[in-house]
Amino acid sequence: MSAIIVIATSAGGLGPLKQIVEALPSTCRASVFIVQHIGMRQSILPDILAQRGNLPTAFARQGEAIERGRIYVAPPDHHMRLRFGSIWLDRGVKVQFARPAADPLFISAAEAYGERVVGIVLSGANNDGADGLRSITAHGGLGLVQDPDEAEYPAMPLAAVRRDHPEPPLTAIRLAERVAAHCAAR
């Protein structure tokens, strides 16, 4: 069974996110889901990541079937949630003042895919992702966090570490290596 990789990023997280995406091999069988705190603003994140990486990348669409070897980005002003086999978008209440937010994605991924989920929290200026990462590890998944000392805005990684995070924080380079190895091993 292929892995489900969920990534949360906000202020200061684009650089580490690009490093992770660049490290994913074209043979990656995982499905990758990314939430960036962009609110209602237009975003070209899928274009940026498609130019840097080896996997097809696009904004997620309501009800879309999940495919292996693809990167899905939460569209502006929509939470992205996973059900087994499909993606669901909504404009529900903001979480940690953000929509899209990481916690709805992370929690839904943990509930639908359990131990197959790898969650990653990158640089950001609030606590989003901490509850979701805890849910991932509680369901047997792997939780990874960018080293707060490296993060431009360490609040998100610190919140995840404080929320009972079992793995030591990693630099962006080590995160990229770890995710690529995990992707290749599946």
Catalytic residues: 10, 37, 128
Report the first-to-last Cα separation within the chain, whole angstroms. Answer: 7
Nearest Cα neighbor of 57 from 72, 78, 67, 76 is: 72
Q: List, in order, residues 6 or more apart from 181 with CB less than 8 Å away.
A: none
**Residues 68 and 31 sit within 8 Å (Cβ to Cβ):** yes
The rounded radius of gyration (Å) of the Cα atoms in the chain is: 14
**Are 78 and 90 in contact, with CB atoms under 8 Å apart?**
yes
**Closest to 145 in 3D by CA, of 158, 128, 127:** 158
